[in-house]
Structure 1
């Protein structure tokens, strides 16, 4: 087939959608058979997906291992999901001389046992050892008399200006304590100044210590008393492990919320806040206090690692069967029932919703017995769990060999104006794809096709740091009148997160998590950043991967339309035939030379294209230029594919243009379709259905394989 004929078979029907995205109808085919029409996914039973593990075994097969090994079973962690008690049951603290027992109301992220310390510490660069922290230093013993007097005068001047309500005009005033060569002495002096004058901050400039007004102290004084602000900043600077600070009782929910927002916004990487209802309050005066505590820090990682070794984390593996349930909804439901958070679940791949799917999963901090105890509740949600057993570690994305599919395609018909025998057409199509393969597009389910907002649009907004826009896109309703879409419509009209939360059904776990966070932090840029953190990392990065996948689909179609099946100069090819192309190192990626093109050194099945990220190379031909034009079109010319505010890094990868199905088997079956007419008569028609089974490599889509077989978009 020459290049011009190849282009004809690409079916480039460039239909422009309102969001200017190219839909599947515009994407190329690689084979030249005619195809046929039919209906897939008439019901979940018509589309069965079974994961194939790394050993090549179907995950729904029985496992001979015992449900759990008694020698490995550890004491059950106390993490039942009771929001008013988790982790702080019967917590007591002192305020003055009165001891109070409090009921906890969550106002921070869930704690995770033995997690690696990844939070940045808000510390003075010259740290103080624990022994030195416990000593009490007076500034008189650290500074000469003249410097000490000048520092006291500087502090008094700042306080007088603040107390007189006059603004500090011009640049912030500074006072230099001088140069201190000894690092340990500098650290002690930093702490001593801040402890005596919490309304001042100290900054290190090489060996010099400079003192400035603490504007955050002044801001806090607008919310709480100066006494409280004074004590809070002293507490903050002391950084004593396991210590807590408590603000005075406060009966105003709105005011408490403002204090929460201030502390979390300014010091959220250092401390967390929680609200406690006082146990001893007079009738009709239910005061609540806000308690602050330090987050676990990276410098405690070694200690926590030892603790983890002493008390090994529990991992329970199981096979999840679900029917017509979105995977993230399934994980959210299981998390609630087991008293863990969604990120405690790990899996090898995301599975379809409108299907019956079987996949391997691992949940941490849950014993096999506890999982078995909720089997009946799980079954009410069209799910089941089996092959439950203890394992030593979690799963990771991509940790599978592939998937097996059993599919029924109903109502088979010839293409329009095709008079050839339908059975012959079906046989021809299957054999064609079996031998030549299919274009390895990402499937429509990756983008939420058919919806007003697609996942790739949300991903593009996140890549551009448009977090508020991304939230609103996520909560954009469909043109349906049901509780979920009525709630979303209400949110876009009012931006009332609390009211929307009362309307959103319980089963919409992701939507509710986002709304709860928006209610807590507000619908500002900072609030929306916090809201995205209500999703596990795998969910946040899913949207960015969706955008990269959309661009890859377009790139593959453009590549085939431009060069056909020839391997040309500037193409990228995979040198590792047995490797996983999506985890291919750059050392195994080769740029085709002019001589190699002339010698036909490589075949089309070796050609790969980059999936966008910061660690990929582009083709050196028209396709490479096309990538740059698309990035420019989408406003990503300078994008580094890192979103620090959401802790997302996207290195990118490579993906083969073509893939082939394995172990294909099929059967044609005649079925009687009864048509009931208006007058009550019955007309029976014989229709043809195709039962087809095959295996696909990891990250390949059955709907795309069927699209190539049938030459029909779904």
Structure 2
């Protein structure tokens, strides 16, 4: 994504690899001073496996009006806990699990007995078809147990057309109570039975009896009831890597019985790192968070420093991030004939510490290495091509795993309900979208409602990715044609204006006399993130913006997508940023940084570097400038 983009500095740099393991890339958020939002620190820092992506308020922004949206389906008046029917995987693969404690209250109805369900099945299906269903269920379980049947996951059994709506509902319930490892899918009036992938996956972690009881519990929809699993001493079950922030929140929300939108945080993190960040969650007590601590460690997260707070966090509400990074496999660039690698490293560090780096959005902002990148989805949403955006969203990677198999199945069949069953429960966004598509259809209206079914912050994430891509291209173009000189028509941010002035009044267009007098430095130059309330440079860069948007059919775009309640005013981002508190050392034997026959013995040495960056600055981008190496 940055391969052809401009650099700021002109040193030679060096090669190396990063993120060889999560511990090679450790990120710690530098919190805002406590008194700015609370008399103690922010809520429950969370450890996941990630590096910062862009914060949604990273740059200079005009003030926003408060946005009001109707609460989610389990937002208010429910004590923070959705009913089992809204969260169970047997109900279209829901993404919430109930809180622990399976003690049943005396006034609650008992779950239906297997004998009673068998009688219902016989009466609804007739004995011959009921016997065939029993045989299908038994054969499927045998195939699962033996794990030697390649098509076990795709087996289906048709119950035929069931025209009466009440009979369909009764049949759905009876099948799932008698065979909790099956799910029922309605295709038109036909009912089809297949294996429940979520059930099979859970069987890998807990006993068969617990899994069966749990899925029966979910389908029973008993008011105010809870369920708990037995303690798990298997260390293998506690391993969970490659979590991004939104997936981590999905796990926490599921365990706490709240919505993902009840969480707030100051930044989104990537997968391939160890990160520490504060989070705040509504409708949950510190005691409840402490209760789930051991369960979250099974998911690869650690919750600590838990206490109450009086308000939510906001994206960008942090002082910055501290990075501790190890660069391995050190060597010269192929075009560099220098024999002194230590000199190359020293020169690079001094140059970037003095001059800074181009403030690009990092490649992970766009879904690094993915077949479809997030900016492509954002462009489709801006053009209001809702079906195209959904198809892009579900484009699978070239791997054979449950998530990508579910995406592949959906694109081939448009069977949203079937794809729901195949998806793991932590894929929150995918499941939210599929539920709406199952209800409304895979057409323009259905896809619009599908996008509305995921939280606003997730919807706008994709549009921000597109805006970020345009900003990156604009920054590279600006440096290529004008370099580090501030020229007429540039936009600069000045703190000299009245504090009460609007943001656009604080952004000044450089005049010819300003340029002649060298009134401004390159560190004051900002570029607009596209939107409806910003102004563009009045030089060649401004012309470039208009031509670039026209190329994507956005020349008339108002940057408001009313059907999705998206409003993109735009903002301004400094073209350069500085690194703070930079330090480094080389670890390994001295001979390891010498060359032998023009080849570096890189196995003996690694570079340890630490530094602080402002919010929304990317460590990978800073390293790119230091090393002159794309990742």
Deviation at 1:508, TM superposition (A): 2.0
Alignment correspondent of 1:502: 421
In 2, distance between residues paired with 1:592 and 1:109?
Answer: 52
Deviation at 1:454, TM superposition (A): 0.3
Please tell me whether residue 33 in structure 1 is matched to residue 11 in structure 2.
yes
Unmatched tracts of structure 2, length 5 or more:
46-76, 97-163, 173-185, 189-239, 593-600
Alignment correspondent of 2:544: 626
Between Structure 1 and Structure 2, the one with more strand by share is 1
Deviation at 1:516, TM superposition (A): 1.9
Please tell me whether residue 551 in structure 1 is matched to residue 470 in structure 2.
yes
Alignment correspondent of 2:522: 604
Q: What is the aligned counterpart of 1:532 among 443, 446, 451?
A: 451
For normalisation by structure 2, the TM-score amounts to 0.67
Deviation at 1:84, TM superposition (A): 2.8
Distance of aligned partners of 1:249 and 1:535 in 2 relative to their CA distance in 1, 3 Å threshold: closer
Structure with greater contact order relative to length (CA < 8 Å, sep ≥ 6): 2
Residues 413-452 of structure 1: pairs in structure 2 closer than 5 A: 413-420=331-338, 421-452=340-371
Deviation at 1:596, TM superposition (A): 0.8
Report the 3-state secondary structure (helix = DSSP H, G, I; strand = E; otherwise coil) of the residue aligned with 1:388. Answer: coil
Alignment correspondent of 2:397: 478
In 1, distance between residues paired with 2:446 and 2:619?
Answer: 39
CA contact (8 A) 1:323 1:355 kept: no
Alignment correspondent of 1:396: 314
In 2, distance between residues paired with 1:623 and 1:474?
Answer: 32
Distance of aligned partners of 1:669 and 1:701 in 2 relative to their CA distance in 1, 3 Å threshold: same
Deviation at 1:83, TM superposition (A): 2.9
Please tell me whether residue 80 in structure 1 is matched to residue 81 in structure 2.
yes
For normalisation by structure 1, the TM-score amounts to 0.59
Distance of aligned partners of 1:417 and 1:491 in 2 relative to their CA distance in 1, 3 Å threshold: same
Q: What is the aligned counterpart of 1:567 among 468, 486, 493?
A: 486
Residues 69-468 of structure 1: pairs in structure 2 closer than 5 A: 78-84=79-85, 250-251=166-167, 324-420=242-338, 421-468=340-387
Alignment correspondent of 1:45: 23
In 1, distance between residues paired with 2:591 and 2:450?
Answer: 50
CA contact (8 A) 2:95 2:425 kept: no
In 1, distance between residues paired with 2:347 and 2:417?
Answer: 57
In 2, distance between residues paired with 1:662 and 1:323?
Answer: 30
What's the CA shift string for 1:530-564, capped at 9, x where partnerless? 21123211111110000000000000000000111
Unmatched tracts of structure 1, length 5 or more:
1-22, 68-75, 87-104, 111-247, 259-321, 675-683
Please identify, of 534-543 and 696-705, the stretch whose mean Cα deviation from structure 2 is larger: 534-543
In 1, distance between residues paired with 2:448 and 2:166?
Answer: 28
Name the count of aligned residue pairs. Answer: 454
In 1, distance between residues paired with 2:619 and 2:34?
Answer: 18
What RMSD over aligned residues (CA atoms) do the two structures have, in Å? 3.4
Report the 3-state secondary structure (helix = DSSP H, G, I; strand = E; otherwise coil) of the residue aligned with 1:25. Answer: coil
Please tell me whether residue 695 in structure 1 is matched to residue 612 in structure 2.
yes
Alignment correspondent of 2:211: none
Alignment correspondent of 1:542: 461
Distance of aligned partners of 1:553 and 1:573 in 2 relative to their CA distance in 1, 3 Å threshold: same
| Larger Cα-atom Rg | 1
Alignment correspondent of 1:493: 412
Deviation at 1:571, TM superposition (A): 0.3
CA contact (8 A) 1:438 1:705 kept: yes
Report the 3-state secondary structure (helix = DSSP H, G, I; strand = E; otherwise coil) of the residue aligned with 1:627. Answer: helix
Report the 3-state secondary structure (helix = DSSP H, G, I; strand = E; otherwise coil) of the residue aligned with 1:605. Answer: helix
CA contact (8 A) 1:487 1:503 kept: yes
In 2, distance between residues paired with 1:332 and 1:483?
Answer: 17
Distance of aligned partners of 1:472 and 1:325 in 2 relative to their CA distance in 1, 3 Å threshold: same
Alignment correspondent of 1:637: 555
